Amino acid sequence: MSFWRHRRREADLEEEVRSHLEMAARERAERGEKEEEAKRAARREFGNVELVKEVTRDRWGRRWLENLYEDARFGLRVLGKSPGFTAVAILTLAIGIGANTAIFSLLDGLELRNLPVPHPEQLVRFGAHIPGNDYAALSLPMFQELSRGQKVFSGTFAWWPDIVFDAEIDGSLARADVWGVDNNFYRELGAVPEVGRLFDSEDENLSANAAAQVAVLSYGFWQSRYGGAADVIRKTLKIDGIPFTIIGVTRKGFTGLSAYMEMDVTLPLPARQLFGGEADMQKYLQRRAARWLQAAGRLRPGVTLEQARAQLGSLWPEIRQEMVPPDKTFADLGRFRDLQLKVESGATGEASLLRKRFSQPLYIVLAISGLVLLVACVNLANLMLARAASRSHEMAVRAALGAGRARIVRQMLTESVMLSVAGTLAGWVFAHWASHA
């Protein structure tokens, strides 16, 4: 709408100038002057037509937009005449910006980004660990006792972390990240199915350590391996040669306990016994000292992390004492009694397990890449100063033709901004490629 209004105003201005010149020429002709002489005299008396138009446009308040357009067009022409300089400048900025963006993206996913679930700040992870070892986990009896005794969570849930298995899909093999979760997992994380259903209490029996052989797929795994077919429900998926019936698919965007990576396949919690590792896996998973579970809870409204830490900490000594297995040696018993309960925010999900291992190196790499960007900017500034010195004759000519100092500075700034925008776009492409490589 504003474009058409501007065109009408331009047309009205053109018509007004033309009418004024015709009227002045006609008055002179009526006084006896020849027609051509009258027109020339009228134009001479009126003055510079284009200058009058520019003054009028300035009063409209749109002159800055036209100047910007002219500066950008001239800047493109100037940069196009120096393709070598332009390419070096854009490439320098692209490498510096792209490297920093790629490293920050990794840090964001590892340490800063919250889980894409409702109210991630309410999630709290808890587990037992030996001092000096960051790995925190619980045995099934420990988790059950803590869940029964606590009053700070509206609900608790447990899982075993991802294990990469071979998944057989319609006769072909594919690698899949497989997780085991209890029937509260999806409910506490606010997940809903895209098709089918998610786990419920009928799919597991923790007291008997038994589970139905059913599976839930992530949206991405469903799309990439099954083409998003709606008839995937009740199909058989073999994990490490063991058949599971597919009962559902999570909705697009649900990444579970990772802020950036989907859980390909989830199985009921007790399905862990099917994958061996011990002579009697079922009995092993029920052992009090077998810490194979990760656990978390969702805080009740008004409850803080410190309150949760205090309450769980008060329950822990008695639970730890009750969980001491009778067959432990004196040395093993001492290590078992050294177990401490770690309670921390679960807003970033599984990233908390990797944070201490990778966050410090990533910060160091980010600092180094920041220095690289700084050096690149300094080098680019030197290049632009040298280029400006080589254009001194051009600037002198423009100043002689009436261009003010502010006008010349504005033109130089416009060229710098154009290079910065081009370098930023190239850096974004580089960062996108690097973070997905």
* pLDDT for res 330: 46
Q: Which of 177, 406, 137 is nearest to 295 (CA)?
A: 137
How much is the pLDDT for 229? 93
Instruction: Give the other-Cβ count within 10 Å of 32's Cβ.
Output: 7
The helix/strand/coil state of 336 is: helix
| Rounded Cα gap, residues 303 and 290, in angstroms | 30
Hey, CA dihedral for 384, 385, 390, 391, is it positive or negative?
positive
Decide the pairing of beta strands 236-239 and 242-250: antiparallel
d(CA 257, CA 349): 5
From the list 293, 284, 127, 272, the residue with the least C-alpha distance to 204 is 272
Domain ranges of the chain: 2-59, 77-110+357-436, 120-347
* CA diameter of the chain: 128
User: In terms of pTM, does the model score above 0.75?
Assistant: no
pLDDT of residue 59: 64
**Cβ within 8 Å of residue 198, ≥6 positions away:** 186, 187, 191, 192, 216, 247, 248, 250
> Quick one: pLDDT at residue 212?
76
Q: Report the C-alpha gap between 245 and 396 in whole angstroms.
A: 80
User: What SS3 class is residue 37?
Assistant: helix
pLDDT of residue 1: 46
pLDDT of residue 163: 84
Spatial contact of 325 and 288, defined as CB atoms under 8 Å apart: yes
- Intervals of the chain under pLDDT 50: 1, 330-331
Strand partners for 238? 168, 243
Report pLDDT for 398. Answer: 78
**pLDDT tens by residue, 68-87:** 777 788 888 888 888 888 89
The tokens describing 430, both together, are 């580089």
Cβ-contact 408, 78 below 8 angstroms: no
Query: Which residue is it, tokens 């099917």?
Result: 274
